[in-house]
Structure 1
Amino acid sequence: MSTSTTSSGGSPRSAPGRPPPPVPGSPRFLFSIEGVRYEAIRELMVTPSGESVLLAHRHGLEGGLPGLCVVRRLPSPSTSLRRKRLVEEIKLAFRLNHPGIAQVFQLKSHQGDPHVIMEYVPGPSLETLVSAGVARCQPVSESFALYVGTELAEALHHAHTLTDEEGKGLGIIHRDVSPRHVFVGTHGGVKLTNFGVAFSLMAFRMVSPESLVRGDVAYASPEYMERMPLTPRSDIFSLGVLLVELLTGTHLFDVQDAPREPAGMRPLHSETFPSLPLPQMQVLLSRFGPADVERAVATLAPDVKSLLHMALRVNPEERFATAADLRDALRAVLAQRSPGYGRQEASGEVARVLAEGSGMRDVVEFGEAGLFPEGLDAHELEALVKKNKK
């Protein structure tokens, strides 16, 4: 998500007409649901579209369940059709129950706006890790990227193959797989978030307008930008773009090199604020090919390059057939490269990348999660690094 209303290194500013954001030591009461009290303790981000993401604490839970959660306050849909679509999207997210997917708990209407209560992942986003890698002039290791890719492919496979009560496939496609929607927890677990723009073949799903692009177009597949039918292979392409950026610190597409938009290209508009301009992305994807991939991955190992080339084929039929196939291929390369690489190794690498990149945090803009894992100050991060080196 865009963070243009949040100053780098500073506190988020409240949108016009909104209550001021909570400050440390002074939580703000939000609402209660069935005896559970929700208090906002920090505003993580505010988007130009009016959405805000709050870190909240739940009080009054039975059984001593963890109290932290994320509350996404969404702008109230302007039409009944959009309100119905939003409810359907949340219902869809309720069905996803997988350790690699951040759980969606509830939908609450409060002060005229829908609030989605979600699982809190205590750790940085991949967007933050990419920025930290740029700051230290060294991206994450190939082993770390292979590990993350394996976990994400497994989570996507779960979503792609999910069925309803009658065993009928729901046809879920995330269509917004990007670094800002992937978090690495403090113990090395990888979580995919933001299934709110997911596409599904469920009969009661509302169809988006033909010209409307949902999700960040910087990670969209060519067929999505051409408004062709979506399949799970669209998410595979997006995951490939994400992995290129994670491995190299550079996005696959350079919009500054985009030629002029040709006459007759179908006009599109994005529902959210994309990280790269929509018209330029349309042009680049319309001319995208294997040579573009090779230029981006030239410095990587041959086995990693081969995986990325297959994930990033223009023709969906030439990509990995399923996310499970991509998962297995990534896992096999990781096993050869770094046998036993898992959560502990990933957690240690996250701490090192953040610590080494922290010296440049005033020069390089980090992602919406901030440089440090949520709840960790600089001295606490140093202690975490020392712990992981033992």
Structure 2
Amino acid sequence: MGALEPGSVFAGYTIERLLGVGGMGEVYVARHPRLPRSDAIKVLGAQFTRDESYRRRFEREADLAASLSHPGIVSVHDRGEFDGRLWISLALIDGVDVSALLASSPGGLPNSEVARAITEVADALDYAGARGLVHRDVKPANILLARTGHFLLTDFGIARMGPESSDLTGTGMTIGTIAYASPEQMQGLPVEPRSDQYALAATAFHLLTGAQPFTGTSPVAVIMAHAQQPVPTVRERRPDLAPQVDAVFARAMAKSPQERFATSKEFAAALGHALSLAAPHVPVSPADRLAPTVVNPGAGPSGSAGHPGSSGHPSSPTPLDSAGHPGSPGHSSPPAHHSSPAHPGRPVHPAPIGASPRRTRVPLVFGGVLLAIIVAIGAALGIQAYQRSTAGAEEAARLPRRPVTPVLPALDTRPDQPVWALPEVTGPPGARTLDVQALGGDSDIVLFARTVRVGSADRTEYLEIVDANTGQLVDGTAPIPVDTGDRSLRTCVVSTDHSAVACELSGRTGAVMVADVATSTIVTMLPARGDVLGLTAAGDRFVFLDGPDRPRSPQLRVLGRDGRELAPLSGTDIDATTPSGDARHGIELFGLVGLAFITSGPDASNPLSKWEFRVVRLEDGAEILRRETVEPLDRDTWNVFIDGFVLDDGETRGIYDRNGTKTADLPSGWRPSERPYPTEGGTAETSVPIVIKTDGNKTTYAGVSPRNGIVLWEQQSYSADDKQPERLLFRGVGTLITTYEMSRIVDAYSGEYAISAASPDDCTILGTDGTRIAIARDYGSSGNRLEVWDSEGQVWEITSEHMAVAVGGKIYLGNLRLF
């Protein structure tokens, strides 16, 4: 029986694709027969299934791995035999094995990344060891970096209850990988958890130096080196490391298990401490302290592709995307902080890979002596990289930090009591409240919609203008009854002087209501021609996008605080069409930066007309920029940030402020990142301009200074398609930047990973306190959930019938203000 074909059914699973081939069989991505997910299915070759010793080994792998429940160990879901072939199903891991990181960084990985990887794997090994299990095949290819930023140990394929002889078949055969295996394992002696510690240390040696600790011209030579030769010095290849690092490796890789550290975690802690120490006479540049290190997980050597791990992840450096397709997270990580948990009882998950101090590119140091002669080209490139990193860090330090959304109060602790509860003040006697929801406002005023019913009468909606600090109605105001008809109240905004509020009403067609605060009366109910989008307060007016059905064009409609409709800002004719009969105008409105971007197609009545691109300021309708083009501008031609926009239309490349003034050129080779569609949610504005450049399936993204175009930081990402780059959409929250699916959350000014990428993507971002992020999620019949995440994972949660809402830097839940 050959390889299983996509679409075929095996043991109830529908095969989707082949993931990897190893010495014992194949690994497939397969759809679960009942659950809405794909698993990794490891299928033993038919020739091995007939071999009783192999059968025992395969079954033991599943049973032992299934007994483990640890965040750092890949889970086993099921096992069985089908059509004469044994199989197990495992969690499909979205990530890349560490050998891929080594392939892209042949000189070794940054210290903090190594320290964090070893710490997380050590915790998994000690967990297994405490249960009498020895992995026996710890190596870079069996350590996965998940897209969430966490490391997982894969392939307990030769794990077994210890202590036993490593002679699995009775023939003296050694199965562990000899480049990392302990002397006792390769000599057929009993193995124990400290045998895994040896292999973990050998792996750490490789990660730090880019070279295996022992090499030879034959497997026998390598085995003899492990058994007889002293541990090589790490500092021969890494003179920037402290001497204490060598001492840690000498103990962890001692020939006798009894001379090693008591546990793998003890070894990891000692290594982390030694790596934090400065080496003698090695200068530390500002770039070392401030610049994030970019890990570039590229393709590894072809020779490593033959051994699939138990996670269904091949040992070859083939990264997987969120669906398990080849790709790579391209993550890099902040320094690991291994302090006590801030939340007792919650496991510590150090921050995702990315913002570790960069090893100094220049000057090169050997034996504490400055290298006097450097190849001219290499020196020039090294100095250039160093200056760019330093310049970016220094420029970031000079920039004012511009939060896109108000910074939330500290989210470290789940609140036991609300700040206040909205009192029952609305409606006639006998009225009962059915629902209360915050709809908008600012840091001082929050606007609530309250739905009430008296007896069996129809529902009535009220708009309440509430003091955000006290929870009481603003002095002099009263609840405003709103005749919503077949519509319902949605988003509300308040004018900057607090004299008026405007609310969107949604239904088959939308409407905008304006109410006077002083008199608590509705002064205008303006029907829209279509949907109401982007309602915002801009200066002394309210602006919204009225989007009728095609082929009619949208308009930027304007209402004064007194409710009078003013002339549309865009000057667009809603009935104008292009020669092809399509709507002529398209408009995108960005309320935080206060700009609208209008793309107009050729005029059907004028055969010489071209495409037009205009930028309009919302508070006064000023047209601050106009371009004519032969073709419409693509979505990666421009984007927005909190103080302006970035444009690259082929002729004009630059960063512009809200007045249309060009403040800086785009750095060479970079272009604006694609902005999200309005329907894709979130805040498109970011604290600083975000730019990208692509190379095959690699995307490098960066923050740049709006003042001078200096690149502040860079990070990298890889797509599942070998030839196409990943579609990255960025949005802002506080002074953080997150990708649309929240797989990366970085500081806008340093590029350092700030919050766990494990935070879910099917959510609404409420805000951040700088180190934690609050999100709202809809769990259907199970209710709604307010969740807070930090660099270690989820911190706390609150489940409620209401959806949490953020307004003006505060969080509301129904009639409660929580923060």
Provide the TM-score with structure 1 as the length reference.
0.70
- Per the alignment, residue 6 of structure 1 pairs with none
2:117 is matched with 148
Paired position in structure 1 for 2:43: 73
1:293 deviates by: 5.8
**Counterpart of 1:195?**
156
Does the CA contact (< 8 Å) of 2:142 and 2:155 recur in 1?
yes
User: What is the aligned partner in structure 1 of residue 328 from structure 2?
Assistant: 373
Partner of 1:227: helix, strand, or coil? coil
Q: 1:262: which partner in 2?
A: none
Q: Which residue of 2 aligns with 1:51?
A: 25
Shift of 1:287: 2.5
Partners in 1 of 2:39 and 2:226 — Cα distance? 37
Distance of aligned partners of 1:363 and 1:126 in 2 relative to their CA distance in 1, 3 Å threshold: closer
Query: How far apart are residue 332 of structure 1 and its match?
Result: 4.5
Secondary structure, counterpart of 1:217 in structure 2: coil
Alpha-carbon contact 1:121-1:184 (below 8 Å) kept: no
Higher share of residues assigned strand:
2
Identity of matched residues, %: 26
**Quick one: which amino acid aligns to residue 70 of structure 1?**
A
Listed as ranges, the matches of 1:40-119 within 5 Å are 40-47=15-22, 49-61=23-35, 67-75=37-45, 76-119=48-91
Residue of structure 2 in register with 1:131 after alignment: 103
Tell me the residue number matched to 1:285.
Answer: 226
The one-letter code matched in structure 1 to 2:9 is F
Tell me the residue number matched to 2:296.
354
**C-alpha deviations, 1:131-190, integer Å up to 9, x for none?**
1112xxx4321000000000000000000002xxxxxxxx21111001111101111111
The equivalent residue for 1:19 is: 3
Does the C-alpha gap of structure 1 residues 56 and 301 become closer, same or farther in structure 2, counting only changes over 3 Å?
farther
Deviation at 1:386, TM superposition (A): 8.8
Selected match of 2:188 from 213, 224, 227 = 227
Give the Cα separation in 2 of the matches to 1:365 and 1:207. 23
Alignment check: 8 A CA contact 2:100 2:316 kept: yes
- Indicate conservation of the 8 Å contact 1:293/1:312, yes or no: no
The reply to whether residue 243 of structure 1 matches residue 204 of structure 2 is yes
- For the Cα contact (< 8 Å) 2:134–2:162, is it kept in 1? no
Following TM superposition, by how much is the alpha carbon of 1:80 offset from its aligned partner in structure 2, in angstroms?
Answer: 3.3
- Find the aligned partners of 1:114 and 1:363 in 2 and give their Cα distance: 27
Distance in 1, Cα, partners of 2:235 & 2:274: 19
Please report how far the alpha carbon of residue 40 of structure 1 lies from its aligned counterpart in structure 2 after TM superposition. 2.3
- The amino acid that maps onto 2:249 is L
For 1:55, the aligned partner's letter is V
Is the 2:39–2:91 Cα contact (8 Å) retained in structure 1? yes
CA contact (8 A) 1:253 1:284 kept: yes
Superposed displacement of residue 302, structure 1: 3.2
* d(CA) in 1 for partners of 2:238, 2:228: 18
The superposition leaves residues 319-373 of structure 1 with CA deviations (integer Å, 9 ceiling, x where unpaired) of: 1111232233345457889xxxxxxxxxx96xx3226x57xx8999886242632
Cα distance change of structure 1 residues 252 and 299 upon mapping to structure 2, 3 Å threshold? farther
Question: Which residue identity lines up with residue 283 of structure 1 in the other structure?
Answer: M
CA contact (8 A) 1:108 1:116 kept: yes
SS in 1 for 2:188: coil
Structure with max Cα Rg: 2
Cα root mean square deviation, aligned: 3.4
Which residue identity does 2:316 align to in structure 1?
Answer: E
Report the CA distance between 1:79 and its aligned residue. 3.4
For 1:58, the aligned partner's letter is: H
Contact 2:186 2:223 in 1 (8 A): yes
Contact 1:303–1:333 (CA under 8 A) maintained in structure 2: yes
Q: Give the distance between the partners of 2:43 and 2:248, measured in 1 at CA.
A: 38
- TM-score normalised to structure 2 length: 0.35
> Can you list the C-alpha shifts for 1:299-334, whole angstroms capped at 9, x where unaligned?
533343332222111222221111232233345457
**1:107, 1:116 within 8 Å by CA — same for their partners in 2?**
yes
Which structure: greater helix fraction?
Answer: 1
8 Å contact kept, 1:69–1:117: yes
Q: Which amino acid aligns with 2:726?
A: E
Q: 1:383 to 1:176 in 2, by over 3 A?
A: farther
After superposition, the Cα gap between the structure-2 partners of 1:139 and 1:79, relative to the gap in structure 1 and judged at 3 Å, is closer
Contact 1:133/1:353 (8 A) holds in 2: yes
The Cα of 1:53 is off from its aligned counterpart by: 1.3
**C-alpha deviations, 1:3-37, integer Å up to 9, x for none?**
xxxxxxxxxxxxxx413553xxxx443231xxxxx
1:28-56 CA deviation, whole Å, 9 max, x = no partner?
43231xxxxx2222222212x35111122
Distance 1:333 1:292 in 2: 14
The answer to whether the 8 A contact 2:49-2:55 is kept is yes
Note the 1:158-237 alignment, pairs <5 A. Answer: 158-162=127-131, 171-201=132-162, 208-209=169-170, 211-237=172-198
SS in 2 for 1:196: coil
One-letter identity of the residue aligned with 1:380: E
Cα gap change, 1:296/1:113 in structure 2, threshold over 3 Å: closer, same or farther? farther
Change (3 A) 1:206 1:212: closer
SS in 2 for 1:148: helix
Contact 2:302–2:316 (CA<8 Å) still a contact in 1? Answer: no
In 1, Cα distance between the equivalents of 2:235 and 2:264?
Answer: 22
Mapped to 2, the partners of 1:278 and 1:21 lie a distance apart of 36
Asked whether the equivalents of residues 168 and 174 of structure 2 are also in contact (C-alpha less than 8 Å), the reply is no
Alignment of 1:197-346 (within 5 A): 197-201=158-162, 208-209=169-170, 211-256=172-217, 277-291=218-232, 295=236, 298-330=239-271, 332=273
CA distance in 1, matches of 2:720, 2:260: 40
Q: Deviation at 1:116?
A: 1.2
State the distance in 2 between where 1:225 and 1:383 align.
Answer: 50
Gaps of 5+ in 2: 279-291, 306-314, 320-326, 330-718, 731-736, 749-819
Partner Cα separation in structure 1 for residue 221 and residue 182 of structure 2: 14
| Residue correspondences, number | 313
- 1:266 equivalent in structure 2: none
